Structure 1
């Protein structure tokens, strides 16, 4: 602790700091990623392995198994998780390396039940995929070759063994005993692919005298003149030594602060206060620049130096909950401003996360930004994401709701398990706490909800004593262990024990806390219920759709491409998923003419239904202050709730989200025989303009037009039109009419939207006869389209080509042209021949 340190004389401090430029590095690292081999423990044959990696990907690389994502291959690889596996390598250590005062062997991620031997001596037993394990090997290494072997026990065998020790069965018993990514055991959107292996880097960390263990930098106060910040630096010394810790700006944005101290053997906490003058604040996407400051943390001793870099954002983030006449608010305030959270739930981008690249994360966050997100919820059934995910969220102004990795189950309470959880939480809190994007820690996903609402206790035959013990274990993890770690390691953020606070069958779910509303889909309630079930913060709700046709082609043969085929059922993990999609589709649409049309209409159905819900949340601002739909992405090619598929292709929902999540949103809707228009603004200043309402018949004739001067207050939702439907239509046929609503300012359209007055199956849509022209541009190909009649949900496609449309699934009014760009790096000589254009009427 700092009170045990003493300040050394100023002259000595100057001497120490003056030798910095020529100092050697105190700390060096050497990754151990070559010459790895692996084998099934009960067989003799060794194969080449890739580290980081996992058994499944290594078996694929060695052509032992086929791609589990293709057709029904998932079923053929289930034996892998029933086996034990061994990985081994030999790495060289030089005399210079061995001479370091301290050498650690660091495992960033072992998946999961791993026994590690170094030169035939057991040095580690790990049982947590989410932890970093560090072993002091200073006196274990030898000059020259060193043998490293890791034995991975079958996670299924381990879980069975642990479960047998309990007098009762825990919900989701087969997966909860392993601190391992829950989704890999199978979910209603994900395959059962239970991995083992070295999924993150392994390296030697070698150092002399002292090194920086970790830092924690937080903002204490902000005003226009300066921001006050505090840095806690944990310095570990291998022996008593003297040194200087300095906080500085490599680009000269603030004055350095330093302390010169004597460090005792072991851990030493150094606290430095510093100021940033005229600070630029970090803002979420849409509200301003997500400005980041580079901060260097330097440790200097007479023997050498270590420099670490952090990027920080100057900002305040709070979860505000205040009692009101209805219940209790639930809203995030960023730099004192209420922020309507717009985004989705983020699951792992891969079933095999070891093969994720920076480019994968960049593509995902880029698509979140394009769709006007300002928040992603890292869901508790996946993984704590790679550092690059949080770096990109920092850079792009995407707030992160971070679950701890517990989902939809109850958990053991034995001492070993609880200690492992404590260390896991500490590892990840310390790793992530300096990220400006991190907004809140959440204990779990739906565990409290499941305990009180899903009938676990009755179904599993719990006695009163069983129930008390299981609930006590829940309390220990989520109300004792996690809060205690956060109090110690990150008191700067709010903690929410369980999401949701109440299940969707409870009235409180609409008046307080956050809500996961699944009456639509699970409850088979109509989409119109979204308007009635508006909560304070909707952190989960969703509806499934098929992925794009090209994605279906990637995992299937022509004979597989039908709704009820065996292969399509393998790639639909919800037990009644396809039936549910068809049931809802029959309510709104005619029967599609073929399976490809069914796939297209399923995306329109998802987008239109979800738009109804998200728009209701947006209109309810500030009663509702967040909507995070389920889900953003997929971990394999599948029919699911995602708006962006495994390959990064946008479904119709993602284009709709882009509109409804705009800083300005125009929401025309019909309710109780009246036509209403609500304007929503997330801007921090008022917006003035003209609301243009144009009513057309399907031949493109203008039936009625009204202009309304509008003054929209900052950060608000305002109903501006409320008129009887019959009066508004002025005799026009509802099934042949469409309203176009636009907010215009100085000739620029700030936002627009459309309203139809009948269900799609009742609309009298004519053939649109869409035509277009193509022009090569710097980013790809610009396509200008126009139609002879109203065209609904116009989709443009270029088969078997990587790229992104700047808009899609849009409306066309006769007499108007729309230009969209297909952004691609490919040269497509036959672009016009490949271009496929269709609208809703073509699907039937």
Structure 2
């Protein structure tokens, strides 16, 4: 035993990644080969695993790019055929006799696998892992593996539905996605099956039970199996980012599940980035015998408690997360897959998605249930950047089968995904499905069904979402379970008072954006509005001379059947008639202005009602291809105006103003709110400055008003003496605005106190404003150094200019966009081009719809240029 302890001390002094590979039971390897259509002797193309049939056909120029024009229609035959992938001969690893299992991941979808002519097994679920015995078929050299795929459309055609297929639902077409049913293999591994002669450590995780002050208590948990006859010692250690071991313990051998409690003083906690530092720790468990290290398992974890409060109150039922004993507002967006061809999504692109969310002050992302589960890379990025992840199980907008085979497959899927993701501190919740409960109750799904069919479907729903999924989460995950999002549909009179809500009153039902103030729910998990991407993105998929909105190319990239009509209706009410006579640049611009204003104000409505509402998740953050959609970032990573406005709406301190016309005299209502403090309740004395500014830059009125800030609580004041909407001759509401600024009174020098928050309030509709049609002048100011790689531009105008949008011919983003300019004002704006290592899906080999290589040119457009009410 003394020798064992000496070895243990040496190992634990410097545990390193070196050991992790020594004890892996699996060897992952890429393979090359050939895709062949079984119904054609002519179609045969090189392929790769990991890889995709569609991408292989595209790279070999067998098919046109399905993203471009109307090509989507011309490639549908691919998903209706059966295909086979045959690998090139490959050699087995050394000691190949030890490898007796084949492990597969991300197989889409129905596939039979053979190795050297021996059938190993079949797959029918893209969301679970598969393991097959090699049956002594692995040779030292010249091995050939074959994947024979059957088209999912065969059973769709026979059964008339797609929900029985455990593959991403959006691939069958959505109102923001093209239809592209792929055949692919994500990962292939040779593995050694477990033997009694070896030691195995699995399912390592850390759970924090309580945090009192700076002391954290919880436990470490893992499974151990194998040969425990030899004298050995187990040790776990938790190391912070500075390399200091903050907790550890030694054990004598014991089989089964091991749980070890810990208490850590002055713990470095994991917080979302808006509350604190997302501190991470390395958790390692080793098994040491007399001859050295026998097994090791390592995870990156965080010390934090996270509870979902769904308790009843006098207003209904809450839906609020509490992180490390601090209730907070969850602000963010819904995430969809970054590409419909999964194998093309890379880790840098996923990190860029998270980084862009953080840049817009978001602290929560929901991984929507009609796509793919969050990848390890995505979750690691959220861990590191302090973003919580609401994870849907992959069920969306359909009722699912209840037969034994399907239910068993769902259980395997749930277990695989939970065990893979549960150690991530960013994992906030598991949700059973997206809109299945609402659809069943309110969308007419029961129409035409017999009582027997209704009973069958309801039992299947109960088996999956009320039994299998919650019981699996409860057994294996340190996260709450929520059966369906939303809890109640918007047709239910109680929808906004209980649980989470999807409010599609705007868009689908035609409600005004102002209605979001009256319909604020306990937690808004979906709401949104469409816009079109800027021209440089649109030109990658729409031929330049067919940008007209009535062209077939454009229509094929507007997947909502009423999209144009809905946008036209909302534009008409506030901005005017844009249904005809405008260039694509003007059309895309005005749709982005409309989306940005309406949806960001919905976020503001939620944040300024924090005594009732605990979160707002916009639909949606990103796109899977260049398309008209609800996204705030387009498919090439360019921020729409919405993303810039969300950055303001989710800002640490939010100031907002609106006119209340109820009563005999209009009142200016001013709201102020800030993120909660992790140091307890505090109050910051402050002052709001109110200025009425004419479009010519003159100030017609100024006043100051005390407005204290209590982080985590909204504060409101109402002013009736602001002479804005009045008969004063020097103030015209169509050519002036109210400027609001809030200043922290604790600042030592009032003359130099920085403005903590500001807002602009207009009293007239945009189409009523007296805007001069003047150009926005954009001049290069300076070029950044080689390290920063950015460009500064000076932006100015000779007249008041509203909602200025800057666009660039090359991929990248501006630090600010969608801003107003006073006459003669000069604003310096930074543009940062994308790099291939930061975000460049358009530059990845084999990716479609590439952004054209152009010299950097920046142009500008404003509301003045599209709403012409006066002459300059």
Q: TM-score by structure 2 length?
A: 0.89
The alpha-carbon deviation at position 99 of structure 1 amounts to 4.4
Residue 755 (structure 1) aligned to one of 755, 761, 765: 761
Residue among 460, 465, 479 paired with 2:452: 465
Alignment check: 8 A CA contact 1:504 1:517 kept = yes
Q: Which residue of 1 aligns with 2:81?
A: 83
What SS class does the counterpart of residue 687 from structure 1 fall into? Answer: coil
Q: 1:138 to 1:254 in 2, by over 3 A?
A: farther
Aligned partner of 2:40 in structure 1 is 43
Residue 182 of structure 1 pairs with residue 169 of structure 2: yes
The answer (yes or no) to whether the contact 2:535–2:584 under 8 Å persists in 1 is no
Structure 1 residues 674 and 224, CA gap change in structure 2 (3 angstroms): closer
SS in structure 2 of the partner of residue 819 of structure 1: strand
Contact 1:241 1:262 in 2 (8 A): no
Matching residue of 1:357: 346
Matched, 1:346 2:335: yes
Q: Which residue of 2 aligns with 1:788?
A: 798
Match of 1:702 among 688, 699, 703: 699
1:797 is matched with which residue?
A: 807
Deviation at 1:770, TM superposition (A): 3.6
Q: Is it true that 1:133 corresponds to 2:130 in the alignment?
A: yes
Q: Distance in 1 between matches of 2:130 and 2:518?
A: 49
Instruction: State whether structure 2 residue 589 is matched by structure 1 residue 583.
Output: no
Structure 1 position 139, deviation (Å)? 3.9
1:446 corresponds to which of 429, 435, 438: 435
> How far apart in 2 are the matches of 1:82 and 1:159?
10
1:25 maps to what in 2? 22
Deviations 1:678-727 (A, max 9, x none): 01111414333331111111111111111223321121111123326756
- Partner of residue 52, structure 2: 54
Which stretch of the first structure deviates more once superposed, 45-54 or 433-442?
45-54
Which residue does 1:475 correspond to in 2? 462
State the 1:300 CA deviation.
3.2
Taking a change above 3 Å as real, the CA distance of residues 750 and 225 of structure 1, as seen in their structure-2 partners, is closer
How far is 1:473 from its partner?
Answer: 0.7
Question: CA deviation digits over 1:222-246, x for unaligned, max 9?
Answer: 2345423322212342796664332
Instruction: Establish whether residue 539 from structure 1 lines up as the match of residue 518 from structure 2.
Output: no
Q: Distance in 2 between matches of 1:825 and 1:425?
A: 37
Give the aligned partner of residue 845 of structure 2.
none
RMSD (CA atoms): 2.5
> What is the CA-CA distance between 1:36 and the residue it aligns to?
2.3
Q: Which residue of 2 aligns with 1:230?
A: 219
Q: Return the offset for 1:832.
A: 11
Q: Which range moved further: 542-551 or 214-223?
A: 214-223
1:215 deviates by 1.4
Measure, in 2, the Cα distance between the counterparts of 1:833 and 1:67. 26
* Structure-to-structure mapping, 1:654-665, within 5 angstroms: 654-665=643-654
Match in the other structure for 2:95: 97
Report the equivalent of 2:713: 716
Equivalent position SS for 2:539: helix
Name the SS of the counterpart of 1:758 in structure 2.
coil
Query: In 2, Cα distance between the equivalents of 1:203 and 1:790?
Result: 66
Residue in 2 aligned with 1:775?
782
Matched position secondary structure for 1:678? strand
Asked if 1:66 corresponds to 2:59, the answer is no
8 Å CA contact 1:109, 1:201 repeated in 2: no
Residue 240 to residue 107, structure 1, CA distance change in 2 (3 Å): farther
- Pairwise CA distance, 1:463: 1.5
For residues 58-90 of structure 1, the C-alpha deviation after alignment (integer angstroms, 9 at most, x for no partner) is: 111121111110111111110111111111225
Could you say which residue in structure 2 is the equivalent of 1:637?
A: 626
Name the structure 2 match of 1:158.
Answer: 155
Tell me what 2:117 maps to: 120
Q: How many Å separate the matches in 2 of 1:243 and 1:640?
A: 58
**Counterpart position of 1:740:** 739
Deviation at 1:435, TM superposition (A): 0.5
> SS at 1:476's partner residue?
helix
Residues 644, 277 of structure 1: alpha-carbon distance in 2 compared, 3 angstrom cutoff: same
Indicate conservation of the 8 Å contact 1:689/1:710, yes or no. yes
Query: Equivalent residue for 1:513?
Result: 499
Aligned 8 A contact 1:27 1:211 in 2: no
SS at 1:741 equivalent: strand
Higher deviation after alignment, 647-656 or 677-686: 677-686
Looking at structure 2, the residues matched to 834 and 46 of structure 1 have their Cα atoms a distance apart, in angstroms, of 43
Match of 1:261 among 253, 263, 278: 253
- Indicate conservation of the 8 Å contact 1:26/1:209, yes or no: no
Measured after TM superposition, the shift of residue 548 of structure 1 is 1.3
C-alpha contact 1:226 1:275 (8 A) present in aligned 2: yes
| Alpha-carbon distance between aligned partners in 1 of 2:120 and 2:230, rounded to the nearest angstrom | 29
8 Å CA contact retained: 1:312, 1:436: yes
> How far did residue 327 of structure 1 move?
1.2
CA distance in 1 between partners of 2:766 and 2:650 (Å) = 24
- Number of the residue aligned with 1:169: none
Quote the residue 1:809 is aligned against: 818
Partner of 1:552: 538
Q: Distance in 2 between matches of 1:127 and 1:239?
A: 37
1:195 to 2:186 alignment: no
Match of 1:824 among 829, 833, 839: 833
Change (3 A) 1:414 1:239: farther
Instruction: Give 3-state SS (helix, strand or coil) of 2:313's partner.
Output: coil
Kept after mapping to 1: 8 A contact 2:801/2:821: yes
2:205–2:422 contact (8 Å) kept in structure 1: yes
Return the alpha-carbon distance in structure 2 between the equivalents of residues 610 and 19 of structure 1: 58
Say whether the 8 Å CA contact 1:16–1:243 is kept in structure 2.
no
Distance 1:17 1:595, change over 3 A: closer
How many pairs are equivalent?
A: 814
Task: State whether residues 371 and 654 of structure 1, in contact with CA within 8 Å, keep that contact through their aligned partners in structure 2.
Answer: yes
Structure-1 residue corresponding to 2:444: 455
2:383 corresponds to which residue?
A: 394
SS in 2 for 1:144: coil
Q: Distance in 1 between matches of 2:522 and 2:856?
A: 49
Partner residue, 1:371: 360
Pair 548,138 (structure 1): closer, same or farther in 2 beyond 3 Å: same
Q: Name the TM-score, length of structure 1 as normaliser.
A: 0.92
Q: Aligned partners of 1:832 and 1:816: how far apart in 2? A: 28
Deviation for aligned residue 1:55: 0.9
Residue number in structure 2 paired with 1:565: 551
Which segment is superposed worse, 759-768 or 195-204? Answer: 195-204
Instruction: Give CA deviations for 1:86-114 in whole Å, capped at 9, x if unaligned.
Output: 112255455842243x6432112211111
Q: CA deviation at 1:818?
A: 2.3
Please state how far the C-alpha of 1:367 moved relative to its aligned partner.
Answer: 0.5
Q: Distance in 2 between matches of 1:650 and 1:96?
A: 49
**CA shift at 1:199, angstroms?**
2.6
Tell me, in whole angstroms, the C-alpha distance in 2 between the residues paired with 1:443 and 1:151: 32
Q: Distance between the aligned counterparts of 1:509 and 1:738, measured in 2?
A: 36
Taking structure 1 as reference, are residues 95 and 812 closer, same or farther at Cα in structure 2, changes over 3 Å only?
A: closer
Shift of 1:794: 0.8
In 1, the alpha carbon distance for the partners of 2:832 and 2:817 equals: 13
Q: Give the match for residue 270 of structure 1.
A: 258
Residues 149 and 245 of structure 1: is their aligned pair in 2 closer, same or farther, counting only changes over 3 Å?
Answer: farther
| Match of residue 166 from structure 1 | none
1:837 corresponds in structure 2 to 860
Shift in Å at residue 833 of structure 1? 9.0
**Cα distance in 2 for residues equivalent to 1:33 and 1:95:** 13
Indicate if the aligned counterparts of 2:100 and 2:190 stay in contact, CA closer than 8 A.
Answer: no
Cα distance change of structure 1 residues 702 and 769 upon mapping to structure 2, 3 Å threshold: farther
Pick closer, same or farther for the CA change 1:350–1:240 going to 2, 3 Å.
Answer: farther
Q: What is the match of residue 479 of structure 2? A: 493
Q: CA deviation at 1:201?
A: 4.5
For residues 501-558 of structure 1, the C-alpha deviation after alignment (integer angstroms, 9 at most, x for no partner) is 1111212111111110111111112222112211110101110000111111111112
